[in-house]
Amino acid sequence: MPLTFSQFMREALYDEHRGYYMSERDQFGAEGDFYTASQVHELFGSLLAKEFAGVWRALGSPIDFAIVELGPGRGEFARDALSALRIEFPDCFCRLKYICCEISPALRSKQRETLAEFGNRVDWVISLEELGSPITGVFFANEFFDALPVHVVRERGGRLREVYVVRRDDGSLVCREDELSNTRLEDYWQRVGSQLAEEQLAEINLDAVGWSEKIAQRLKRGRVITIDYGDLADRLYAAERPNGTLRCFSRHLISDEPLERIGEQDITASVNFTALIEYGRDFGLEVVSFARQTDYLIGLGLLDRAAALSVKAGDESSQELQHRLALKQLFVPQGIPSHFQVLVQEKRP
């Protein structure tokens, strides 16, 4: 039976027994398959801590303040942010509950180890439904939306066709085109898509829309901060991407073969920020800012903090040189951060 690519990707990443993110193997850092900003340098978490504290003050310093992180990985970002809040913004820290939303038992276990020092300041949920009443605070998603399952479509004769995954008689998997599986795909594309060239591939992330709605429903007042690689629709679906943005990561190597090594490699697609912005407005999330990650972090004081760390380092040992090079990765214009965007949305009562 043919599967939509979204169904295939969901099984490959999140199947209870075989899914990539559900396994015990380490997906992150030098020994894993890819880095996130929180693994590059602890300064990333401390800069966001400043942002979180600013939201707390802007909301009137509420007694109950929550930060919900979606897909916290091994917990490094939460550790760095909480450490900075405890030292630099103790009044905010004392009012804070940090909630990790994580589906993977293996990753929840690693997060508990990483965050053990913060005791009952941290809690876990498997889904947003477990939050109960809406929170006052922040929803934070760093490289979360890019890992959600996507539908794959192709422009063919002036209309969209969908790509399905089919198992052949010999057991191998191949892709086939057919009619769209869901009328929502056409609705999505008409609203937040862009003109494709003939035979050009593109991804449609309906799950991202669903998550945006759930976040808005569970945010009484506060902000949503989304950091991910992606772009606005007109640039995301430009002609220079004839094969779309789908890619796989394994041992820090990139491939375009998602039907291979199932459960042993990450599968991602760039985020359509136009969709998050437009559908977010429907759900009551208004845009505060949209910027490159580099510019956003500079606005939070990245350069000043980096300069202070460099002065403190003094004469460089090999370890200090590694430290400085890692720091550089947060703001080199030609580096990884140039592909990352930061969308900040706000919900008012």
pTM for the structure as a whole: 0.89
On whether residue 124 sits in a domain, the answer given is yes
Q: Nearest CA to 200 among 142, 167, 152?
A: 152
Q: What is the span of the domain harbouring residue 235?
A: 24-148+205-241+267-347
pLDDT by residue (tens digit) across 15-66?
Answer: 888 888 887 665 554 444 444 555 456 888 999 999 999 999 999 999 999 9
- Could you tell me if 343 and 292 are in contact, meaning their C-beta atoms sit under 8 angstroms apart? no
Specify the higher pLDDT residue, 336 or 285. 285
pLDDT value at position 24? 65
pLDDT, tens digit (0-9, with 9 covering 90-100), for 96-120 = 999 999 999 989 999 999 999 999 9
- Residue 4 belongs to some domain of the structure: no
pLDDT of residue 251: 64
Is 278 a domain residue? Answer: yes
Residue at 41 is within a domain: yes
Q: Does residue 168 form part of some domain?
A: no
Domain total for the chain? Answer: 1
Residues 177, 164: contact at Cβ < 8 Å? Answer: yes
In which band, very low, low, confident or very high, does the pLDDT at 334 lie, cut at 50, 70 and 90?
very low
Q: Is 41 left (phi over 0), alpha (psi -120 to 50) or beta?
A: beta
Question: Please, which pLDDT band fits residue 333 given cuts at 50, 70 and 90?
Answer: very low
Residue 80 in domain: yes
Indicate whether 320 pLDDT > 60: no
Measured between its terminal Cα atoms, the distance across the chain in Å is 47
Sign of the Cα torsion 103, 140, 47, 230 reads positive
Q: Is residue 256 part of a domain?
A: no
Residue 309 has pLDDT above 90, yes or no: no
- CATH code, domain carrying 316: 3.40.50.12710
pLDDT of residue 310: 60
For residues 278-288, give the mean pLDDT: 98
Query: Is the residue at 154 inside a domain?
Result: no
Higher-scoring residue by pLDDT: 298, 41:
298
Share of the chain above pLDDT 70, in %: 86
